[in-house]
Amino acid sequence: MATFDDVRTLIGDVLQLGERTAQIVPDTVLLGGIPEFDSMAVVSLIAAIEDTFGVTVDDDEISADIFETAGTLHAFVTRIAD
C-alpha cells in the first residue's frame, strides 16, 4: 500500500525539493502551487510512480485532477497500486 509519506517523498525526489519536501501535506496544491511542478515534472512523476510501485499508468488514466493536490495524487497512486 502506498502511504502518503511514500508519495510525498516521490514528489520531493522528482522535483528535487530537498527540505521543502517536509512541508508537503495532502492539501498542498501541486499544479500552480509548486513552481517546479510543470509538464515535464508530470511526465517524470508518472515514470517514477510506475517504477516505484510496479504499475503501468495508461494515458487515459491521466488528468489534471490527479495532480491538483498531493492528496489527490496519493489517492490516485493508492487506487492503481493496490
Contact 25, 73 (CB under 8 A): no
> How far is the C-alpha of 21 from the C-alpha of 34, rounded, in Å?
11
Count of structural domains, the chain: 1
Average pLDDT over residues 3-10: 97
Give the global pTM.
0.94
pLDDT digits (tens, 9 = 90+) for 11-23: 999 999 999 999 9
CA gap 16, 79 in Å, rounded: 25
Mean pLDDT of 70-79: 96
Task: Supply the pLDDT for residue 82.
Answer: 79
Q: Which domain holds residue 18?
A: 4-81
| pLDDT tens for each residue of 38-71 | 999 999 999 999 999 999 999 999 999 999 999 9
Cβ atoms of 14 and 44 within 8 Å: the answer is yes
On whether the CB atoms of residues 1 and 43 are closer than 8 A, the answer is no
- What is the CATH number for 63? 1.10.1200.10
In which band, very low, low, confident or very high, does the pLDDT at 1 lie, cut at 50, 70 and 90?
confident
